[in-house]
Structure 1
Amino acid sequence: MLSKANRVTHPSDFRLAVRRGRRYSAPHCVVHIVSNERSSGVRFGFIVSKAVGNAVVRNKVRRRLRAVAAQLLPNVSVNSDIVIRALAGSAQAESTTLLAEIAEGIDRIVVKV
């Protein structure tokens, strides 16, 4: 589980990450990363739209993404906000696939920055 300090909660922070952050597109998700000097660590946020499925499916996908983020948290060393937008096929994807896609996106973006 992600602690409150590791979660993006304000809509303005989501908007900033999506509009101004660097982006990596994968088959099941899109990873947006923007540096954040105000936070003392990495914060994760999740966008799961109705295109993914009904409320039960969306919440299941959100829980799986949170678990993936908790696994990746110790490996990310930059102060940044990471917003993960789930795409329509993410409900059928394996957790290991989501983990690999998100980890690759973070690695590619962080290396570029």
Structure 2
Amino acid sequence: MLARPNRLTRGADYKAVVRRGVKCAGSRTVMYVAVSDEDRAPRFGFIVSKQVGSAVTRNTVRRRLKAVCAGSLAGVRPGADVVIRALPAAADADFHQLAAEVERCLERRVA
């Protein structure tokens, strides 16, 4: 589970990261990364729309993405804001497939 300092909570923060962040697209997710010079913990946000599936499916995908990000927290530079948008294909992916895709983008953008 991601601690409070590691979560994006305001809509304005989500919007800023999506608009000015660098995009990394995969077959199951799209990740936006904005890095600042602030000395704070990295923050993560998740967008899982109704196109992904039912509420149970969406929550499962969101929990898996949170677990992947919590495990990758040590490798993300301070001041980074990351928003991960799940695509409909994420509903059929297992944990390891989502983890591989997210970690690939994190290594390219914020390592």
**TM-score per shorter chain, which class?**
over 0.9
Q: 2:100 maps to what in 1? A: 100
RMSD between superposed Cα atoms in Å: 1.4
Question: What runs of 5+ residues in structure 2 fail to find an aligned partner?
Answer: none
Q: Report the CA distance between 1:39 and its aligned residue.
A: 6.0
- Correspondences of 1:75-90 after superposition (within 5 Å): 75-90=75-90
**Equivalent residue of 2:27, what SS?**
coil
Percent sequence identity over aligned pairs:
43
Q: In 1, Cα distance between the equivalents of 2:87 and 2:78?
A: 25
User: TM-score scaled by structure 1?
Assistant: 0.91
| Runs (4+) off by over 3 Å | 36-39
Alignment of 1:1-113 (within 5 A): 1-38=1-38, 40-110=40-110
Which amino acid in 1 is paired with 2:11? P
How many residue pairs get aligned? The number is 111
- Checking the alignment, whether the CA contact within 8 Å between 1:23 and 1:32 is kept in structure 2 is yes
Task: State TM-score, norm by structure 2.
Answer: 0.93
Q: What runs of 5+ residues in structure 1 fail to find an aligned partner?
A: none
Deviation string, structure 1 residues 12-56 (Cα, Å, up to 9, x no partner):
010011111000000100110002345601101000001100111
**Residues 37, 12 of structure 1: alpha-carbon distance in 2 compared, 3 angstrom cutoff:** farther
